[in-house]
Amino acid sequence: MLTKKQLDLLEFIQKRVKRDGVPPSFDEMKTALNLRSKSGIHRLITALEERGFIRRLAHRARAIEIVRLPESLGGEPTTGFVPRVIRGDRPASIPANADPVTIQAVELPVMGRIAAGVPIEAISQVSHQVAVPAQMLSSSGEHYALEVKGDSMIDAGINDGDVVVIRETSVADSGDIVVALVKDHEATLKRLMRRGSAIALEAANPAYETRVYPQEQVKVQGRLVGLIRTY
Amino acid sequence: MLTKKQLDLLEFIQKRVKRDGVPPSFDEMKTALNLRSKSGIHRLITALEERGFIRRLAHRARAIEIVRLPESLGGEPTTGFVPRVIRGDRPASIPANADPVTIQAVELPVMGRIAAGVPIEAISQVSHQVAVPAQMLSSSGEHYALEVKGDSMIDAGINDGDVVVIRETSVADSGDIVVALVKDHEATLKRLMRRGSAIALEAANPAYETRVYPQEQVKVQGRLVGLIRTY
DNA sequence: TGACCAATGTTGACCAAGAAGCAACTGGAT
DNA sequence: ATCCAGTTGCTTCTTGGTCAACATTGGTCA
């Protein structure tokens, strides 16, 4: 699947991530492979992405993540699968030899529906499972999915009926779209904005008002990391 | 299942991958099988792919991956059903009888980017792969993915950078969002509306004008069936 | 026996991809 | 505003994959 150069580069990236926890920059890779120009690295990276070994964020520094490894580097034999979080009330493990083909995806439980003002109970039980591309998930962390109800986020391109993928976390930056638990009462999907010591939860729809709460009343339960829509 | 030659080739590829970590090139295979021409290899490779033993990216150097082995080479006896093949190259269909513990997903090739007025060449080569939930696909039909460029469909909740899943078809109802080829020139993602014998292609953004064409100038190439967004 | 087909072998032309280098450009971060 | 990382265009050379055309061999079947 990979040419020698591509394999070399992948191997180097892997070592670096293991050693430093941070992927190398283009310049570092250039040096490691004894090249005189970064553009060669760029091409190799593109090839690796195309072949599904890494995923990356374009135009971002060191935004490379290894998604899978070829067998020769100790990756699962192709009958395997990159095990990732599978939560919910299902057996935690992924069938080891599930499939002759590697599929870069994970099943997540859909925990219910969410909107402005949905009772928290709604996000407590699994209604069904969805498969999501592995690239969507962080390599660590727990994820789950919710079905969006209502149009409160349409201006952010989140429609009624969409399935959103949430990474569980209690921290969020201003501007992130989060699942927030307000006054231990209701869970909503909103854009979180910090206003001094208060927190504003903005809908992405002029028809809904932004509501501002003191910090203690808002608990972040997760951050939006992906969206899946079926027509 | 396999002819002698096909088996020989498969065996050779396997050895090489094991030894070098890199699949052999056509030339190397040619030499190994004592042929004087690469085209014989080409045929054998095609046959192996057809039979589901290897997976490959067309037109890419050494882009071969062994998916399974016949029993004679130590492969597991296949459990009976046909592989839930997920070919990098436009999966033909969703496996009908997929194993219940298997991930319900399929890898689709992302064929490029699409927007208002993108040259058709853009949708011709694989840039990378995405996994999409099987629920999103029709049980029959070919699917592929495109990355959306631009904001011409924002009011339909389709943002810049989203990946749209397209089912290949040449028919569409009024109101469907389709990939349309206009005057054999440009491929665009638009909402198709029939106006008598003419066809209107509407953007979902007031900033873009609806354009109306005679039927002959618009060819539907596929219909939007899903959307995947990663934040 | 002859028609036919599948698998294979071969040639040669053709073009695309891989690899490398240099330089200019862009976009974030500080 | 400057630095750094990544992106892109362009050139050159090498390697690698595709395809049409034609030939050979061995089986199947009327």
Write the pLDDT tens digit of every residue in A45-75: 888 888 878 877 777 888 887 877 777 766 5
Higher pLDDT, B70 or B95: B70
At which residue do the structure tokens 């999501």 appear?
Answer: A132
Mean pLDDT across chain B, nearest whole number?
A: 77
Polymer length of chain A: 231
Closest CA to B57 of B6, B142, B129, B132: B129
Q: Which residue has the tokens 């593109």?
A: A46
| Measured distance between the N- and C-terminal CA atoms of chain B, rounded to whole angstroms | 45
Q: What span, in angstroms and rounded, lies between the C-alpha atoms of A85 and B169?
A: 36
Between residues 73 and 112 of chain A, which touch chain B (CB distance below 8 Å)?
73, 78-79, 81, 94-95, 97-101, 103-107
Average pLDDT score over residue span B124-144: 76
Largest CA distance in chain B: 64
Q: pLDDT band at residue B75, thresholds of 50, 70 and 90?
A: low
Write the single-letter amino acid at A178. V
DSSP class of residue B93 equals B
pLDDT surpassing 70 at residue B82: no
> What confidence score (pLDDT) does residue A83 get?
31
**Residue B53 tokens, joined:** 């033993």
Is residue A78 predicted with pLDDT exceeding 60?
Answer: no
Nearest residue to A47 (alpha-carbon basis) of B111, B42, B127: B127
Does residue B62 belong to the interface with chain A, where contact is any CB pair within 8 Å?
A: yes
Work out the minimum CA distance from B177 to partner chain A, whole angstroms: 10
Distances in Å between the Cα of A217 and the Cα atoms of A103, A117, B60 are 41, 14, 55
DSSP H or E stretch at residue A56: strand A54-56
Nearest to residue A109, comparing CAs of A96, A123, A121, A120? A123
- Show the DSSP H helices in chain A as ranges: 4-20, 26-32, 38-50
**pLDDT for res B117:** 55
Output the pLDDT for position A75: 58
* Residue B210 near residue B202 (C-beta atoms within 8 A): yes
Q: State whether residue A56 sits within 8 Å of chain B by CB.
A: no
Strand-pair partners of B107: B131
Over residues B139-162, the mean pLDDT reads 82
By CB atoms closer than 10 A (0-12, 13-18, 19+), residue B143 is buried
B228·A225 Cβ contact <8 A: no
pTM of the model as a whole: 0.68
Residues B14-33: what's their mean pLDDT?
Answer: 88
Residue B85 reports pLDDT greater than 50: no
Of B62, B135, B228, the CB nearest to A133: B228
Query: Exposed, middle or buried by CB within 10 Å (0-12, 13-18, 19+), for B47?
Result: middle
Helix H or strand E segment including A166: strand A163-168
Q: Where are the alpha helices (DSSP H) in chain B?
A: 4-20, 26-32, 38-50
Under DSSP, is residue A144 helix (H, G, I), strand (E, B) or coil?
strand
CA distance B176 to A196: 45
- Strand C nucleotides below 7 A of a protein CB? 7-13, 16-24, 27-28
Report yes or no: B158 at the A interface, CB cutoff 8 Å. yes
Q: How confident is the model at residue B225 (pLDDT cuts 50, 70, 90)?
A: very high
Q: What's the angle, vertex CA B141, arms to CA B140 and CA B146, rounded to 5?
A: 135
State the pLDDT at residue A12.
87
pLDDT of residue A103: 57
Give the pLDDT band of residue B205 (cuts 50, 70, 90): confident
Non-local CB neighbours of A75 within 8 Å, separated by 6+ positions? A68, A69
Question: Quick one: average pLDDT of A150-171?
Answer: 88
Average pLDDT in the B27-50 region? Answer: 87
For residues A133 and A72, the model is more confident at: A133
Contacts of A172 in chain B (CB under 8 A): none
B25 beta carbon to strand D: under 7 Å: yes
CA of B71 to C1' of D2 (A): 63
Per-residue pLDDT reduced to its tens digit, A90-108: 222 223 223 334 456 777 7
Least confident of A61-65, B4-8, B15-19: A61-65
Q: B130 burial class (0-12, 13-18, 19+ CB within 10 angstroms)?
A: buried
Q: Is B141:A138 a contact under the CB 8 Å cutoff?
A: no
Contact partners, residue B108, CB within 8 Å, separation at least 6: B90, B91, B129, B130, B131, B132, B143, B144, B145, B165
Exposure string (b/e) for B9-46, b if CB count within 10 Å is 16 or more? bbeebbebbeeebbbbbbebbbebeeeeebebbeebbe
Q: How far apart are CA A230 and CA A225, in angstroms?
A: 17
CB of B230 nearer than 7 A to strand D = no
* B177 band by pLDDT with thresholds 50, 70 and 90: very high
On chain A, the residues whose CB falls within 8 A of the CB of B129 are 50-52, 104
Torsion angle of the four alpha carbons B211, B212, B214, B216, in this order, in degrees rounded to the nearest 10 = 40
Burial of A85 (0-12, 13-18, 19+ CB in 10 A): buried
B21 contacts in chain A (CB < 8 Å): 2, 7, 70-73
Dist. CA A214–CA B163, nearest whole Å: 37
- Render pLDDT for A194-229 as a digit per residue (tens, 0 to 9): 888 888 888 888 888 888 989 888 888 888 989 999
pLDDT at A127: 63
Q: Which amino acid is at B38?
A: K
Q: Alpha-carbon distance B103 to A99, whole Å? A: 9
Most confident of A14-28, A49-63, B26-40, B136-150: B26-40
pLDDT above 50 (res B140): yes
Residue type for position B72: S
Cβ neighbour number for residue B200 with a 10 Å cutoff:
16
A78 with A66: CB under 8 angstroms?
A: no
Whether B68 CB is under 7 Å from strand C = no
For residues B106-113, give the mean pLDDT. 76
Give the up-direction half-sphere exposure of residue A162: CA atoms within 13 A in the CB hemisphere. 27
Nearest chain A residue to B224 by CA: give it.
Answer: A231
Q: Is the pLDDT of residue B97 over 50?
A: no
- Answer whether A3 sits within 8 Å of B66, measured CB to CB: no
